[in-house]
Chains A and B, each alone.
Chain A
Amino acid sequence: MALPPYASPVEKLWFWIFRGSCGLILLFLIAPVFVIIPLSFSSGSFLTYPLPGFSLRWYEEIFSAGPWMESLKNSLIVAPLATLLAMTFGTLAAVGLNRADFPGKGLILALLISPMVVPLVIVAVGMYFFFAQVGLLNSYTGLVLAHTVLGVPFVVITVNATLQGFDFNQMRAGASLGASPIRVFFTVVLPQIVPGMVSGGLFAFATSFDEVVVALFIASPTERTLPIQMFSGIRENISPAIAAMATILILLSTLLLITMEFLRRRSERLKAAP
């Protein structure tokens, strides 16, 4: 909506006010992300500008053995496992939902995506009592199961969306050519739904990698994940070490964003092709 050449001065004024405010809103969105990066290279111990000097001491701190590395290690154990479980369960369920009509389908779909809707603190308290009863409190297993629950709706939704345009007659065609159902699934179905699985998986991974509330309730200091370490760092002693870890997390989210964009463009291209 470029400005037409015949625009009146008032229209021109409005146009630039509109553009200007949109610019400010974009600045509001992006500034916090970028403001924190330079602070991680500060040689001082306060998170204020101007920087007293350049140093990598805060990266040294987070990358040397200690609570930061411990919590990063824990997150790198929990998040991939939870993502894998969520992708497996979620994909199977999404295929099942699209394979045939059966009674109660709407209700089941609602059940599968409900973890996305229920306030986190309620999930956390519920699981806290449940895991205490079955002995999974303060365990990696409990944390992985909890994060699987939180990640699964994303996989169900994205794979479900990918399957909307999927022609299940292809499975019949595969079977009629003599392939076993498992072979049909891996050679015919899977390649077509992989983008949905991956983007759902990325959502699930990001969820686990950024989840504080449930982990605060069900994990002991031994299983302390990176978000909990960040949380207590921000609350108790906000230092440039947090900015350093934040910079690494921003890098990670940039990677996630690029992957998602790539997947989106690929699926658009495939849709556009006849």
Chain B
Amino acid sequence: MSTNAVAARPEAPPEANLKKQLKRADRLRKFKAIGLVAPLALFLIVVFVLPIGSMLWRSVDNTELESVMPRTVAGLQQWDGSGLPEEATLAAFAAELRDSRRGGGLGKVGRRLNYEDNQYRGLLMRTLRGLPASSENWTQTLVEIDPAWGETTTWREIQRASPPVTDRYVLASLDLERGANGEIQRIDAQDRIYQSVFQRTMVIAGGVTLICLALGFPLAYLLATLPPKTSNMLMILVLLPFWTSLLVRTAAWIILLQSNGLVNQSLIASGIIDTPLQLVFNRIGVFFAMVHILLPFMILPLYSVMKGISPSYQRAAVSLGAHPFAAFWQVYAPQTISGVAAGTILVFIMALGYYITPALVGGPADQMVSYYVAYYTNTTNNWGMAAALGSILLALTLLLYLVYHRLVNRKQLIRS
């Protein structure tokens, strides 16, 4: 290939030609490399990034009314919010309401308006039933069907639900709302639920992470300091659960912790308790199962860091007169910090998104953010809320991942 290129232009000076050839070969290689990466990158963009992006867009998407009642929405945009909208707008509303019966538009609008106030679905249905084929004065007709159409607040609420983008879902998932004049305020204390959901998610993820660290650190230390033959054997005890199906382990914990399970049986047999403890389908069960599933993800990074720490530092400290504990805390422990950081963030990130395990071994008060995302998608079809809660969860996860990435990369830099 290259000899041909040289033969084609014998008149060019050889060095310049070489440079050109090198450049061309480099460019060709670059294109080939991009060509190899492109199929997967495109596949992921189409099947992964865009679907998630468009799902997250639903957290601000507010086009329900606009898509079913475009003329009403346009009319309400002109309205100044005092008195009633113009007759033309109300006529358009009546016509579009009648048309909305076909193609599921009515359900869409009813569901959206019900987020503003629970009365709307019923009001729309009643109005549709009483709606005459034609009218001289739609304002009067509508008010006759239901006096609610004669109130300014009704139309202002519809106006508020009209713009194509909204921040209501994002605000609602932070227990905030827009007041009458558009200012952001906290919702009534008895309705605040997401604050406690996020708090609970943080508490569970944080608690699981701390327990994993407390259990993982000594075990990783033991594995890193034992002779390789023994530590390889013991490592199997860490890796076998790691490779075992999450569902198998969750089922095993239900079996172990149930009221007549092995744990309760042995506690009763040893005389510590008389009646079985409730250990599963509550927070205790969630902690047991989640710590068990995530512990290997703490042990493995800790182990790999500890493996690289020479034991002579600690010995040197002791020989210089340090107490063995001081030598451990002041000399050994600081060297493990990158492993601690990596394991902690990894476990925390994974714990944040947990759904299956709390759903199986937790009670209603132990469900985390993921559960509510699934709930709003499947059960109530409130996609705006599902997307808003999902966006916050994703933002939190990606932020932590960025920190993790920085830490792990720095560690590799130091090593090299």
- Closest residue of chain B to A92 (Cβ to Cβ) is B36
The stretch of B129-137, B162-170, B172-180, B239-247 in contact with A is: B239-247
* Also in contact, A249 and B52, with CB within 8 A (given A1-B311, A97-B33, A257-B243): no
The answer, yes or no, to whether B255 is at the interface (CB within 8 Å) is yes
Cβ 8 A contact of A213, one of B29, B245, B356, B401 = B356
* Also in contact, A120 and B353, with CB within 8 A (given A126-B52, A257-B243): yes
DSSP majority for the B interface?
Answer: helix
The answer, yes or no, to whether A90 is at the interface (CB within 8 Å) is yes
Q: Which residues of A contact B324 (CB under 8 A)?
A: 11
The answer, yes or no, to whether A29 is at the interface (CB within 8 Å) is yes
Q: How far is the CA of A138 from the CA of B296 in the complex (A)?
A: 34
Q: Which residues of B contact A100 (CB under 8 A)?
A: 26, 29-30, 32-33
The answer, yes or no, to whether A76 is at the interface (CB within 8 Å) is no
* Also in contact, A235 and B360, with CB within 8 A (given A22-B218, A99-B33): yes
The answer, yes or no, to whether B248 is at the interface (CB within 8 Å) is yes
Which one of B43, B47, B53 has the highest number of Cβ atoms from chain A below 10 Å of its Cβ? B47
The answer, yes or no, to whether A209 is at the interface (CB within 8 Å) is yes
Q: Which residues of A contact B260 (CB under 8 A)?
A: 48
Q: Which residues of A contact B255 (CB under 8 A)?
A: 35-36, 39, 47-48, 238, 243
Q: Which residues of A contact B370 (CB under 8 A)?
A: 119-121
DSSP majority for the A interface?
Answer: helix
Cβ 8 A contact of B40, one of A93, A243, A257 = A93
Chain A residues 234-248 with CB under 8 Å of chain B are: 234-235, 238, 242-243, 246
Q: Which residues of A contact B258 (CB under 8 A)?
A: 47-48
Chain A residues 182-240 with CB under 8 Å of chain B are: 206, 209-210, 212-213, 217, 227, 230-231, 234-235, 238
* Also in contact, A119 and B295, with CB within 8 A (given A99-B36, A152-B44): no
B401 near A29 with CB under 8 A, answer no
Chain B residues 272-300 with CB under 8 Å of chain A are: 292, 295-296
Distance to closest chain A CB from B411 (angstroms): 15
Q: Which residues of B contact A170 (CB under 8 A)?
A: none
**A-B contacts at CB below 8 angstroms, number:** 245
The answer, yes or no, to whether B35 is at the interface (CB within 8 Å) is yes
Cβ 8 A contact of A99, one of B32, B248, B378 = B32
Interface size of A in residues (CB-CB distance below 8 Å): 79
Q: Which residues of A contact B241 (CB under 8 A)?
A: 29-30, 32-33
The answer, yes or no, to whether B88 is at the interface (CB within 8 Å) is no
* Also in contact, A125 and B292, with CB within 8 A (given A92-B39, A93-B41, A152-B44): no
- Closest residue of chain B to A203 (Cβ to Cβ) is B243
Distance to closest chain B CB from A213 (angstroms): 6
The answer, yes or no, to whether B68 is at the interface (CB within 8 Å) is no
Distance to closest chain B CB from A265 (angstroms): 9
The answer, yes or no, to whether B302 is at the interface (CB within 8 Å) is no
Which one of A25, A48, A128 has the highest number of Cβ atoms from chain B below 10 Å of its Cβ? A25
A126 near B51 with CB under 8 A, answer yes
Chain B residues with CB under 8 Å of chain A are 26, 29-30, 32-41, 43-45, 47-56, 58, 215, 218-219, 222, 225-226, 234, 236-241, 243-256, 258, 260-262, 265, 292, 295-296, 311, 324, 349, 352-353, 355-356, 359-360, 370, 373-374, 377-378, 383, 386-387, 390, 393-394, 397-398, 401
> Given known contacts A121-B393, A149-B43, what 10 new A-B pairs fall within 8 Å (CB)?
A26-B234, A96-B37, A117-B397, A117-B398, A122-B55, A122-B390, A123-B48, A235-B359, A246-B248, A257-B240
